[in-house]
Amino acid sequence: SANLNVVSSNLNQYPSTSTKYQQPLQSQSRTTSTRTTYLFLYSVHIKQNITMNSNITLNSRRGQSSPQRQQGRQAAQSWRTVIFLICAFCTGIFFERASNPCVFDDFIVQTKTAKDKNDGNLRSNSLPQKQSAAAAALSSSGPQDQNEKMRQWDNWPAIAYEEVQHALVTKGDSFFNQARELYYQKTQQPNNNNNDKQQQTLMDEFLKVYKNRPDQTNLCGIRINHALALFLAVKQINPTLVVESGVNAGVSTYIIRAASPTTKIFAIDPLAKPICGQGKRWVDPSDLTTNYWGENFTDLLDLDWKGMIAKKEVDPASTLVFLDDHLHTYNRIAGVRKLGIRHVVVEDNYKLGEGATPFDKKSTPKQMFHGEKWKKEGDWLFDNTVAYAEFPPLVPPIMAAAFKGKRKEAGGFMVAADDNKDIVHPMLRPDLNEDDMKLYAHVADTLGYDAALVDNESYMQFMNYNQICHLELKSDEEKTTIDN
């Protein structure tokens, strides 16, 4: 409860930021536009009444009007008033519709499927008129023109388009889109103390795993948002093999093994020891893990895939590739697709202009989909995926309102001042929902962090987010063309 009070107090210090998405911007502009139109017309109406009343009084004084004539004029004036108010109302509607066409889209039925009920509504009532059909198309079960599809969430400014050349792109149906539902739905689990069963969520299971991770800080590796994504991917795909390109301190290997005790793991890293002074690398004791690092290093695309596939040692259709190597991501995705591999998770999915290495700045799926100079690559990648989705951060950037540090130039971290137009709706909204605040505080307390994110360690854990994404690649044997 103490953490809840601290976080609430911090959010109250930033009312313009923490509440700026509580009311759709269109509603605000609608109110302003309507008031302006009605006030203008009403002022004209008042002016006319004053003029008419003055004329009646003046004529009466001049003896030009009998009482009967004045009554007739007053009756006519009343009818003029009624007619004018009707005209004013209709004129106001006309100007409102012209200046803000989205206002009258409120009648469009909001779509909220069972899959998406915890990730925010797919809605079209706050979209411009030309986009309303597109939002409806995404919610439709029938085949639609993918250039007319988009996803939008309540109380969140981002729009995810099902086409390239946008800051936020989505395609198809990925389990990442149902992250909240999958993590918080309750299942019956055996109770170790007796024969009864107790309810437990996947989040409960994850927190036990993450709390006992081998490197608590993992300075140059995944933290809670990306660990949640990797853990869910392994649980949902249930791969027979996970190829991990980029091991560093071994925390991601630990997460993969915790998510599946039966999958084989290829752990690939050119270095024998972790960088960033992270000490000793965690090594999976399972004989199902093969370590291709140090002297045994073999790159992802240099493994004997043809031989292993021919011997049925690996099944590409049930293989998951986890890319955390800061190399040319686009080329590596295209390379594994040639092998028939269907699933790829990209850990460092940098935005345009961001990146820790030269390849980071010109090869991520998010950059290929958004950047004009990579439109050819973006089109190819989009056309050759069945599904693409970015995993949602656990909480929105506004939860870091009390943090006084600066934004990391390379990217990969959220800050309270973010406009949130290029990231998906978070799993939890503790800034708007009291129950979500309790869920968030539980996560922070369980892991031993400050929910207010004042200190650097707590901030880094919850605000480290780099649009980690899942791609389900097409299974056909189409040729791959790459222009480096």
pLDDT recorded at residue 50:
40
Across 266-271, average pLDDT: 97
Q: What's the pTM?
A: 0.72
pLDDT tens, 287-307? 999 999 999 999 999 999 999
pLDDT recorded at residue 152:
94
Among residues of the chain, what percentage have pLDDT more than 70? 66
**What is the SS3 assignment for 99-162?**
HCCCHHHHHCCCECCCCCCCCCCECCCCCCHHHHHHHHHHHCCCCCCHHHCEEECCCCCCEEEC
Across 430-454, average pLDDT: 98
Distance between CA atoms of residues 251 and 217, nearest Å: 10
Residue 10's pLDDT band (cuts 50, 70, 90): low
Distance between CA atoms of residues 467 and 413, nearest Å: 10
Across 2-30, average pLDDT: 46
pLDDT recorded at residue 69:
53
Contact 421, 158 (CB under 8 A): yes
Distance between CA atoms of residues 319 and 251, nearest Å: 20
pLDDT recorded at residue 91:
57
CA-based nearest residue to 453, from 10, 18, 5: 10
Report the Cα 36 to chain-centroid distance in Å. 35
Which residue is associated with the tokens 């004997």?
304
User: What's the whole-number average pLDDT of the chain?
Assistant: 79
Find the helix packing angle between 67-99 and 25-61, rounded to 10°.
Answer: 160
Contact 301, 480 (CB under 8 A): no
Across 310-324, average pLDDT: 97
Distance between CA atoms of residues 289 and 356, nearest Å: 29
pLDDT at 98 over 60: no
pLDDT recorded at residue 108:
27
pLDDT recorded at residue 240:
98
Q: Which residues contact 482 (CB under 8 A, 6 or more apart)?
A: 330, 331, 334, 377, 380
pLDDT tens, 367-390? 999 999 999 999 999 999 999 999
CA-based nearest residue to 389, from 181, 242, 169, 232: 169
C-alpha atoms less than 13 angstroms from C-alpha of 344 in its C-beta half-sphere: 32
pLDDT at 43 over 80: no
CA-based nearest residue to 229, from 260, 196, 247, 206: 206
pLDDT at 68 over 60: no
